[in-house]
Amino acid sequence: MQTDAPAESESKAAAPAPPISAALAWLWVGFAGISAALAGYGLVSGQRRYAVVGDSHPGAFLYAAEPIGYFIATLLSALCLGALVSVVMTARPAHDGLIDAAAFRMHLVAERLSVAWTVLAVVMVVVQAAHDSGVAPMRLLASGGLLDAIGASEMAPAWIVVASCALVIAVTLRLITRWVGHVVLLIPNTIAVVAIAVTGNAGHGPDHDYMTSAAMVFALAVAALTGLKTATAATGATPTRAVQLAQVASGALALCYGAVLLYLQIPGVAIDSDFARLGLLAGLLLMLVWISDCWGLFVRPVQSNVASTLGALSMTAAMAVLAAMAVQPAPRFVTHRFTAWDVFLGYELPQPPNVVTLLTVWRFDSLFGTLSVVLAVGYVAGYIRMRQKGDCWPVGRLVSWLAGCLVLLFTSSSGMRSYGSAMFSVHMAEHMTLNMFIPVLLVLGGPVTLALRVLPAAGDGQAPGPREWLTWLLHSRVTAFLSHPMTAFILFVASPYIVYFTPLFDTFVRYHWGHEFMAAHFLIVGYLFYWAIIGIDPGPRRLPYPGRIGLLFAVMPFHAFFGIALMTTNSVIGAEFYRSVNLPWLASIADDQHLGGGIAWSATELPIIMVIVALVTQWARQDRRVAVREDRHADSNYADDDLDAYNAMLLELARMRR
Q: How confident is the model at residue 258 (pLDDT cuts 50, 70, 90)?
A: very high
Least confident of 23-27, 93-97, 196-200: 23-27
Name the residue ranges covered by the structural domains of the chain.
57-199, 205-338, 342-540+561-595
Q: How confident is the model at residue 623 (pLDDT cuts 50, 70, 90)?
A: low
Least confident of 25-34, 219-228, 281-290: 25-34
The residue among 339, 360, 346 whose CA lies nearest residue 413 is 360
Please indicate whether residue 256 or residue 15 has the higher confidence score (pLDDT). 256
Query: What is the per-residue pLDDT for 657?
Result: 63
Query: Does residue 71 have a pLDDT over 90?
Result: yes
Query: Does residue 286 have a pLDDT over 90?
Result: yes
Q: How far apart, in whole angstroms, are the C-alpha atoms of residue 50 and residue 307?
A: 39
> What confidence tens digit (pLDDT) does each residue in 244-253 have?
999 999 999 9
Residue 231 CA neighbour count, 13 Å, CB half: 35
Query: What is the per-residue pLDDT for 298?
Result: 86
| Local structure of 640: helix, strand or coil | coil
What is the rounded average pLDDT of the residues 505-529? 94
Query: What is the per-residue pLDDT for 644?
Result: 65
Q: How confident is the model at residue 17 (pLDDT cuts 50, 70, 90)?
A: very low
Query: What is the per-residue pLDDT for 497?
Result: 94
Structural contact between residues 165 and 128, judged by C-beta atoms closer than 8 angstroms: no
Q: How confident is the model at residue 268 (pLDDT cuts 50, 70, 90)?
A: low
Query: What is the per-residue pLDDT for 21?
Result: 64
Q: How far apart are the first and last CA of the chain?
A: 36
Q: How confident is the model at residue 649 (pLDDT cuts 50, 70, 90)?
A: low
- Of all residues in the chain, the percent with pLDDT exceeding 90 is 52
Query: What is the per-residue pLDDT for 9?
Result: 44
CB atoms within 10 A of CB 464: 20
Query: Does residue 319 have a pLDDT over 60?
Result: yes
Query: Does residue 1 have a pLDDT over 60?
Result: no
Least confident of 126-130, 397-401, 424-428, 533-537: 533-537
What is the rounded average pLDDT of the residues 156-182? 95
Query: Does residue 638 have a pLDDT over 50?
Result: no
To the question of pTM greater than 0.85 for the whole model, the response is: yes
Query: What is the per-residue pLDDT for 151?
Result: 87
What is the rounded average pLDDT of the residues 248-268? 90
Q: To the nearest whole number, what is the mean pLDDT of the chain? A: 87
Q: How confident is the model at residue 82 (pLDDT cuts 50, 70, 90)?
A: very high
> What confidence tens digit (pLDDT) does each residue in 524-578 have?
999 999 998 888 888 777 788 888 888 888 888 888 899 999 998 888 999 999 9
Query: What is the per-residue pLDDT for 459?
Result: 74
What is the rounded average pLDDT of the residues 507-533? 93
Query: What is the per-residue pLDDT for 121?
Result: 96
Q: What is each CA distance from 22 to 234, 236, 315, 588, in whole angstroms? A: 9, 10, 19, 68
3-state secondary structure 298-311: HHCCCCCHHHHHHH
Q: How far apart, in whole angstroms, are the C-alpha atoms of residue 73 and residue 79?
A: 10
Least confident of 63-77, 186-200, 329-343, 396-410: 329-343
What is the rounded average pLDDT of the residues 64-85? 94
Query: What is the per-residue pLDDT for 635?
Result: 59
Long-range own/partner contacts, residues 146-152 (CB < 8 A, 24 or more apart): 150/125
Please indicate whether residue 463 or residue 175 has the higher confidence score (pLDDT). 175
> What confidence tens digit (pLDDT) does each residue in 193-209 have?
999 999 888 888 888 89
Q: What is each CA distance from 121 to 118, 160, 161, 470, in whole angstroms? A: 5, 7, 9, 33
Query: What is the per-residue pLDDT for 76?
Result: 96
Query: Does residue 637 have a pLDDT over 90?
Result: no
Alpha helices in 300-437 (DSSP H): 305-326, 331-335, 340-344, 355-360, 368-388, 395-413, 415-420, 424-432
Please indicate whether residue 424 or residue 605 has the higher confidence score (pLDDT). 424
Q: What is each CA distance from 594 to 419, 574, 577, 588, 591, in whole angstroms? A: 17, 13, 17, 10, 5
Please indicate whether residue 655 or residue 107 has the higher confidence score (pLDDT). 107
Buried (b) or exposed (e) across 130-153, using 16+ Cβ within 10 A?
bbbbbbbbeebeeeebbeebbeeb
Structural contact between residues 325 and 340, judged by C-beta atoms closer than 8 angstroms: no
What is the rounded average pLDDT of the residues 443-447? 93
Query: Does residue 405 have a pLDDT over 80?
Result: yes
- Torsion region of 276: left, alpha or beta (phi above 0 gives left; psi -120 to 50 gives alpha): alpha
What is the rounded average pLDDT of the residues 616-628? 73
> What confidence tens digit (pLDDT) does each residue in 211-221 have?
999 999 999 99
- Of all residues in the chain, the percent with pLDDT exceeding 70 is 90
Yes or no: domain 205-338 corresponds to CATH 2.60.40: no
- 636 phi, psi to nearest 5 deg: -85, 165
With a CB cutoff of 8 Å and minimum separation 6, the contacts of 372 are 405, 406, 408, 409, 412
Structural contact between residues 200 and 212, judged by C-beta atoms closer than 8 angstroms: no
